[in-house]
Amino acid sequence: MARLPRIYLQGCSYHIVQRGNNREPCFYSKQDYATYLTFLKDSAEMHGVEIHAYVLMTNHVHMLVTPIGDGDISRMMQSLGRKYVRYFNAMYQRTGTLWEGRFKSSVVDSERYLLTVYRYIELNPVRAGMVLHASEYPWSSFQYNGAGREVQLITPHQEYLRLDNNVVKRQKAYRKLFKGLMPEFELNEIREALQKDWVLGDDRFKRMIEEKTGARRKGHGGDRKSLGFLEDQVL
């Protein structure tokens, strides 16, 4: 079955996830995480993509990004992937692929869903039981967005900046979003959009994307898109 084409529209933000092959680890040491972030910064700058949020889990990564100018997300991910695989294979004396096929992505309705996706990404370690609060996990953008630490690869999105003009008050407002866990319906919406490489947004936003790109997504993709399948994805 032919792969559905990716949807890219200038000015829109995208939620991206890439998994390790067979769900095997992509990171073993602090050096691995730090090296990946260095390569991500370099590749994002090279290909004109802003990084707003990220989390590096043991066997997969999430990002919230926006291409700028003629920025190209696919080229950024290809460049990043090649650099990191070369490093990883040399470090652990292995050969072959590291990633599970092409990355997944969804277009995000910035007005209604963007901060929800920020929260979804940075709460991954909490949902996985690795930490009790997002602030405790060192390999996510919460260190910048919520804790105010310097992370050079981050470019704040306008929706994040609108939380408050004052930096300290903005971070405080952002931290309030992390009280408690996300409701299941929000988790399922985000996961389904990723699995379908489709749109996270209301009907109006989806119609706008369809009109501007000519893209359509019909049906639910069979059993692989069932609730059980989506819940099995530790995203």
Could you tell me the residue ranges of all domains in the chain?
13-208
**Average pLDDT score over residue span 101-130:** 95
pTM of the shown model:
0.89
Q: Selecting from 3.40.50.300, 3.40.50.720, 1.10.260.40, 3.30.70.1290, what CATH number does the domain 13-208 have?
A: 3.30.70.1290
Long-range CB contacts (within 8 A, 24+) of 218-227: 221/195, 221/196, 224/195, 225/192, 225/195, 225/196, 227/188
Q: Output the pLDDT for position 76.
A: 96
Mean pLDDT of the chain: 89
CA distances from 80 to 86, 96, 113, 119 (A): 10, 16, 26, 24
- Partnered with residue 54 across adjacent β-strands are 63
What confidence score (pLDDT) does residue 228 get? 43
Q: What is the pLDDT of residues 60-84, one digit of tens each?
A: 999 999 999 878 999 999 999 999 9
Q: Rounded to the nearest 5°, which phi and psi values hold at 140?
A: -140, 165
Taking residues 23-28, what's their average pLDDT? 96
